[in-house]
Amino acid sequence: MPSNFTQDYGLDFQLCYDPEEITNGVGNHNSYTYHICVVGNGSFTAAQEEAFEERCKLAMKRLNIPVERVLGHKEFKGASTSCPGIDMNLVRNRLKKSLNEVKTAQKEEPKMPEYKKDAAPSKSLAKEFNATVELKITDGTYPQRPVMREEAAVMAYRAYEKAMNNK
């Protein structure tokens, strides 16, 4: 067991990496790789799969690693091992799928409210709002939509001009 197996969480899971430290995971490739070690050979428990996926996605995000560069021990040049004993294409596809699901969920989240162009103004504001339309300070469309700074500036300017002309 290498000395950098700093903690042992029992049979299923070992923390054998510190993100800031070069660890011994793959001979001749340690200096530029980030290791996740799952104990077992080809058949892992659901908890192990789950922990791997969570840690892998975290590391990918943190170190900006694309899924194509998530490799199994045996896939490294010069490695003569069957480790980790599973088809890494399946692992990568699963990661890809789960990352896409996150992306889609994030995309869908901020739902903009739908503003109607010809909506009626709120009852409590209708009288004065309609007056601003009549004065051509605003055109009366989208009465509930948030205002942009440039729109607010133009409306203020129109009101100012009206006031100056009425003097």
Indicate whether 72 belongs to the interface with Zn ion (CB under 5 A). no
Buried b / exposed e along 148-159 (16+ C-beta atoms within 10 A): eeeeeeeeeeee
Tell me the CB-side half-sphere exposure of residue 154, using CA atoms within 13 A.
9
CB of 72: closest distance to Zn ion in angstroms? Answer: 8
Indicate whether 38 belongs to the interface with Zn ion (CB under 5 A). no
With CB under 5 A as the contact rule, the residue among 52, 73, 91, 92 that binds Zn ion is 73
CB of 37: closest distance to Zn ion in angstroms? Answer: 7
The phi and psi torsions of 8 (rounded to 5 degrees) equal -125, 120
- Span 76-115, contacts to Zn ion by CB under 5 A: 83
Stretch that binds Zn ion, among 13-21, 71-79, 108-116, 150-158 (CB under 5 A): 71-79
Stretch that binds Zn ion, among 1-9, 53-61, 70-78, 102-110 (CB under 5 A): 70-78
Burial of 125 (0-12, 13-18, 19+ CB in 10 A): exposed
Indicate whether 137 belongs to the interface with Zn ion (CB under 5 A). no
Helix (H, G, I), strand (E, B) or coil at 28: coil
Which residues contact Zn ion by CB under 5 A? Answer: 73, 83
